[in-house]
């Protein structure tokens, strides 16, 4: 809206500036001097140029208004997309929390099961599992039971598990 006002003001100044210049030019010849064809042609050309400039400025104002509308539409779309992304992130975080809780519960259940087994059998089974799963289970076992299971494992694997457990602050 400001741009339309600025364009209108500039157009106004151009038109009336041209008229003022024409009056001054005609006024220099004196009030009784006849208007010459060159002066009339110059005035006509000046008015045509002013009208053409006004039309050009008006087209630019319309183009600017169209661009402002397009920009506002893009901003609204970006805001909507941003809100959707925030909502999706929130859902993913909630799902991740549920997953972590389920994994924790599963590890606790398995830890109780392996505690109930004989240490040599538990060590044999835990040795066959992925290292992260074995560490998660042993971290949730009672310290004495975890130590006994580790004593039946291969020394290299037991060292790896112990290192991971120490980094976790577990058993």
Quote the tokens at residue 131.
């290292």
Chain centroid offset of residue 30 CA = 69
Per the prediction, the chain carries an average pLDDT of: 86
Mean local confidence (pLDDT), 47-65: 90
For residue 20, pLDDT over 50 is answered with yes
Per-residue pLDDT averaged across 95-114, rounded? 94
For 108, counting Cβ atoms within 10 Å of its Cβ (0-12 exposed, 13-18 middle, 19+ buried), the class is: middle
- Which bin fits 30, alpha (ψ -120 to 50), beta or left (φ > 0)? left
Quick check: 32 and 85 in contact, CB under 8 A? no
Neighbours of 38 (CB within 10 A): 8
Percent of the chain with pLDDT over 90: 64
Output the pLDDT for position 171: 44
Does residue 32 register a pLDDT over 60? no
Grade residue 3 by pLDDT with cuts at 50, 70 and 90: confident
* pLDDT at position 50 over 70: yes
Phi (first) and psi of residue 142, to 5 degrees:
-65, 150
pLDDT band at 42 (very low <50, low <70, confident <90, very high): confident
């Amino acid at each position: 809206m400001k741009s339309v006002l600025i364009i209108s003001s500039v157009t106004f100044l151009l038109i009336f500036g041209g008229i003022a210049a024409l009056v001054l030019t005609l006024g220099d010849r004196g009030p009784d001097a006849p208007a010459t064809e060159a002066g009339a042609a110059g005035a006509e050309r000046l008015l045509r140029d002013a009208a053409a400039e006004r039309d050009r400025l008006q087209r630019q104002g319309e183009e600017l208004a169209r661009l402002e509308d397009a920009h506002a539409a893009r901003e609204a779309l970006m805001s909507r997309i941003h809100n959707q992304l925030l909502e999706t992130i929130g859902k993913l975080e909630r799902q991740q929390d549920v997953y972590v809780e389920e994994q924790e519960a599963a590890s606790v259940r398995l830890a109780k099961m392996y505690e109930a087994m004989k240490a040599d059998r538990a060590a044999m089974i835990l040795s066959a599992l992925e290292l992260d799963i074995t560490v998660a289970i042993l971290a949730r076992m009672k310290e004495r039971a975890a130590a006994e299971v580790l004593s039946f494992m291969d020394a290299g694997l037991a060292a790896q598990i112990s290192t991971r457990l120490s980094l976790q602050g577990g058993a």
